[in-house]
Structure 1
Amino acid sequence: MTANVRLGNQYPTQSVIIPFTESRSEEAIGFYEKTGLESYEWQREMLKGVMAVDDDGLWVHQKFGYSLPRRNGKTEIVYMLELWALEQGLSILHTAHRISTSHSSFEKLKKYLEDSGYVEGEDFNSIKAKGQERLELYHSGGVIQFRTRTSSGGLGEGFDFLVIDEAQEYTTEQEAALKYTVTDSKNPMMVMTGTPPTPVSSGTVFTHFREKTLFGQSKYAGWAEWSVDAEKDINDVEAWYNSNPSMGYHLNER
C-alpha cells in the first residue's frame, strides 16, 4: 500500500469493546498470512477485540457482532478466526442464510488451507456435499462444519465456536435452535457478522443484539459497525470513506 493512497476509516463509527490487556489476534493473523494474503489495518484492529482474552485465557467477549456495508471483506475476519481455531483443535459451526454463501465459505477456507501448504488427504480431510460441507485438520483434530440455518439445524450438536454469517437474516426461530450449541464448551464464542439490515431482511436477532450491546444491556458482548449517522447523498464521497474501511485497499471511488 503506497503512502499517498487514501484509505477508508480504519476504526468503527460505533463500537462497544470490553477493556482487555491480551488478545490472541496476532496468532490468527499469522496463520492467515501464511496463505500469502495480507490483512488490512481495520481487520487487525477489530480482531484484537474479537479475540481478547482475560487472565484465565477465556474470551472477554463470548458474543461479538459487527456490521459493514457489502464488499468490504467482513468475512475475512471470520476466516482468520476459523483458521486459528482449526489449528487449536477446536470445533466450529459456520452458518449462513443461503446455501451458496455457506458453500462459498467452505471453498474459501479449503483454499486457504491449501495455500498455507496443507495437502488434502494428507493434512486435512474435506466433505464437499452442499449443505454438509466439513473440514478436518488432522494434526490438531480441529473440525469446521458449514450449514445453512433452519429452525432445527444444530440441535443436539456441540461446538466451541458458532459463526452467524449473513446475520441480518438471523431469525429468532433459528437462534432458538442454535444458541445452545456452544454451551458445553469450556471457552465458547459466537460471532455474528452481517450488513446493515434492509426493509426486506427477515431477521431481527442481529438488530436486537446491536441495540442491547450499544446500550450496555448484554453481558460479555462486543459490537463494532461502520455506518452513517444520517441519510447521505449516494455521491457523498466523504461518507463512502467514513463507512467503508476497505476503501483504498480493494475498493475505490469508481
Structure 2
Amino acid sequence: MARIDGAARLVIPEGAHTTSEPSLNALAQAAGDRFDPWQRQINRQALAVGDDGFYTARNVVMSIPRQTGKTYDVEWVAIHRAAQTPGIRIVWTAQHFSVLHDTFEDMCSRVLRPEMAYLVDHEHGISLAAGKEEIRFRNGSRIFFRARERGALRGFKKVGLLVIDEAQILSDSAKASMLPTQNRAYNPQTIYMGTPPGPRDMGEAFARQRTKALAGRAHSTLYVEYAADRDADPLDRGQWAKANPSYPTHTSEDAVLELLDGLTPDDFRREALGIWDEHATSSAIDQNQWDEATIAKRREGGVKSFGIDMPPDRSRLTIGACMRYDDNTAHIELAEYRDTNQDGTMWAVNLIDKVWEQTASLVIDGQSPATALLPDLAQAGVTVTVTNATDMGRACGRLQDMLRDGTLTHLPEDGQQPLWQAANKATTRPIGKNGLFGWNRPDDDTDISPLNAVTLALHGAMTTRRDPTQETETWF
C-alpha cells in the first residue's frame, strides 16, 4: 500500500506500475550513504512509473521543514537520474547563490568518491566557473546549477529534471521562465521543495501547487507535507518529531533550539514546524457583496481611468476600466481582454492613446509583465502610474472596502466572464506585516489579471490629481 510515514498531508497519484527507487537506494549504498524509511517512501512514489513508462508524478511537491534531509535526498535523486538516463539535462535552481553553491559542493563531494569514479571523470567532470557550475557524467548527462535571476535559464532546452529549491520564494515570473525549458523533453519531471512561505515571500506559485494538490485538481502531482499541529507548543519535542522526520536521529535537539533562538516565532512555526499560515487559502472577494454590487448599466457622468495587467505567462492582456463619480462612488468594468498570441499587445497602446486626453489615469503594477508596454506608452505621450507592492495592497483593500460599503458597482456576468471568474476564484496573499494584501491565483489555471486590472484602474481613479475636462460614456 502506498504510504509515507508521518506525513501530515499526502497526495499520491494513481497508476503506479513499478519504481526505480531500489536502483537509487543501491547507488547511494554503494557510495556509503543511507536513506531513512521516510525518504525511501518518498522516492518510491517520486520515481514511480505507469504501464506506459512515464512518471505518474509529473510534479513532486514537498513542503518539509528545514534540517530534515530533504536536500540530501533529492541530490541523490538527481545523481541517480543522471547515471541512469544517458544524455539527460538536469537543472537545479535556488533563489540564493549561497544555497545553490552549498548544494553544488555537496553533490560534488558525492560524485567524486572513489566508488563513483565510473560515473564522473574527476579531471573533466566538474565545472567550477562562477555562475556556470556543472557536473558532467561520462554518459553525456549533465547537472547544471543556476540561481534564479533574470535570464539565468535562457537557452536551456529539453530539461528532463528541473529541481526548484527554496520553492517558498519562487515568483510567478521565475516559474513562467523556467517551465518552458522542459518543452520537448522526454518524460520530464519537476521537483519543488521548500517550507511554507512567509508574508514577505513570493510564495504564490508554491501555495497554488499545494492548494491544487489538496483540492484533488492535480492528478499528476505527488504532494508531501510534514508539519506540526497548528496549535503546537514551539517547545514541545513531540511536535518537533511530528514536523521533522529526522528528529532526533539525524537532527539534534541543539539544531532545533538554534532555529528557535534565531528565528521569529512566526518564522519558526513555518520553517521548523512546517505550519502554513491560515491566510494562504483565504477567499479574496465576498461573493454576496460582489453580487449585490451588480448593476445592469453603468450610469452616465464621471471621469474614467484604466489599469492594464497580464498573467505571468503573458498569454492575455487585460484593460480594466473605472468611472469615478463626484459622490466618491465608482464603477469598474472589464474593458478589453485579448489573446496576445493572436492580437499581440500594441492594440492596447493604440486604444489608450486614442482616449488619453479624456482619461484621468492609467496604472500598471511594477511587478506586472505589462510593464513591457511602458516604452510604447511613453512614446505615445501617455503618462503611466507605476505602482509598488504597498500601492497594490492599498488598492486591493480599497476595492474590498468599497464593495462592503456599497460604493462600488460592476456589470452582470454576461460579457464580463473573465472578471467574474477572477473575482470568484481569487485568494489573497499578504503584503508585508501591516495587514496589506494582494490578489492571488488559487491555481495555475486561473487568470486573475482582469481583477488586477480593474483594481489598478480603481486605484488610479481614487488617487490621481489629473482632471480631464471632457467626459464620455464609452471607454474607447
Q: Aligned residue for 2:18?
A: 22
Q: Distance in 1 between matches of 2:62 and 2:121?
A: 35
Q: Residue 76 of structure 2 is aligned with which of 80, 85, 89? A: 80
Task: Provide the residue aligned with 1:157 in structure 2.
Answer: 156
What amino acid is aligned across from residue 45 of structure 1 in structure 2? Q
Paired residue for 2:236?
236
Bigger drift between 204-213 and 21-30 goes to 21-30
> Residue 98 in 1 paired to residue 96 in 2?
yes
Shift of residue 109 of structure 1?
A: 1.1
Q: Which runs of 4+ in 1 moved over 4 A?
A: 119-124
Contact 2:64 2:195 in 1 (8 A): yes
Deviation at 1:219, TM superposition (A): 3.4
- Contact 2:93 / 2:163 at 8 angstroms: preserved in 1? yes
Structure 2 distance, partners of 1:208, 1:14, is 15
Between 1 and 2, higher relative CO (CA 8 Å, sep ≥ 6) is seen in 1
- Residue 118 of structure 1 contacts residue 124 of structure 1 at CA under 8 Å; is this kept in 2? no
Aligned: 1:40 with 2:39:
no
Matched residues in 2 for 1:36 and 1:243: separation? 27
Structure 2 match to 1:64:
60
CA contact (8 A) 2:104 2:133 kept: yes
Cα deviation 1:129-148 (Å, max 9, x = unaligned): 2221011111x111010000
CA distance in 1, matches of 2:177, 2:149: 8
Preserved CA contact (<8 Å) 2:92 2:145 = yes
Correspondence for 1:107 among 105, 108, 113: 105
Separation in 2 of the partners of 1:124 and 1:243?
Answer: 41
Cα deviations by residue, 1:83-127 (Å, 9 ceiling, x for unpaired): 111112221000001101111111111111112332864575111
Residue deviations 1:126-174 (CA, integer Å, cap 9, x gap)? 1112221011111x11101000012433233121010000111100010
1: CA distance, partners of 2:98 / 2:149 = 15
Partner of 1:189: 189
* Partner-residue secondary structure (3-state), 1:190: strand
Shift of 1:80: 1.6
Instruction: Determine the C-alpha separation between the residues in 2 that align with 1:124 and 1:13.
Output: 44
In 2, are the aligned partners of 1:85 and 1:91 still within 8 Å (CA)? no
Q: Which amino acid aligns with 1:175?
A: K
Compared CA separation, residues 130 and 122, structure 1 to 2 (3 A): closer
After superposition, the Cα gap between the structure-2 partners of 1:117 and 1:81, relative to the gap in structure 1 and judged at 3 Å, is: closer
Partner residue, 1:219: 219
TM (norm. structure 2) is 0.49
CA distance in 2, matches of 1:62, 1:11: 23
SS at match of 2:10: strand
Q: CA offset at residue 178 of structure 1?
A: 0.3
Q: Looking at secondary structure, tell me which structure has more helix per residue.
A: 2
CA 249–130 in structure 1, closer or farther in 2 if over 3 Å, else same: farther
Q: Which runs of 5+ in 1 are unaligned?
A: 1-8
SS in 1 for 2:116: coil
Q: CA deviation at 1:12?
A: 1.0
Task: Decide whether the 8 Å contact of 2:112 with 2:122 is kept in 1.
Answer: no
Aligned length: 245
Counterparts in 2 of 1:10 and 1:135: CA distance versus 1, 3 Å: same
- State which drifts further: 223-232 or 92-101: 223-232
> What is the CA distance between 1:242 and its match in structure 2?
0.9
CA distance in 2, matches of 1:153, 1:192: 18
The residue identity in structure 2 corresponding to 1:144 is I
Matched residue of 1:245: which SS? coil
Amino acid at match of 1:157: F
1:124–1:135 CA contact under 8 A, matched in 2: no
SS of equivalent residue, structure 1 residue 180: helix
The equivalent residue for 1:52 is 48
Deviation at 1:208, TM superposition (A): 1.0
- Is the partner of 2:125 in helix, strand or coil? strand
Residue aligning to 1:13: 8
8 A contact 1:23–1:52 mirrored in 2: yes
What is the one-letter code of the residue matched to 2:110? Answer: Y
Structure 1 residue 22: deviation in Å? Answer: 1.2
In structure 2, how many angstroms separate the alpha carbons of the residues matched to 1:42 and 1:73? 10
- Give the letter aligned to residue 177 of structure 1: S
TM-score by length of 1: 0.90
Q: Give the corresponding residue for 2:201.
A: 201
Distance 2:22 2:249 in 1: 21
Pick the structure with greater CA Rg.
2
8 Å CA contact 2:228–2:240 kept in 1: the answer is: no
Distance 1:214 1:35, change over 3 A: same
State the alpha-carbon separation in 1 of the partners of residues 223 and 99 from structure 2.
23
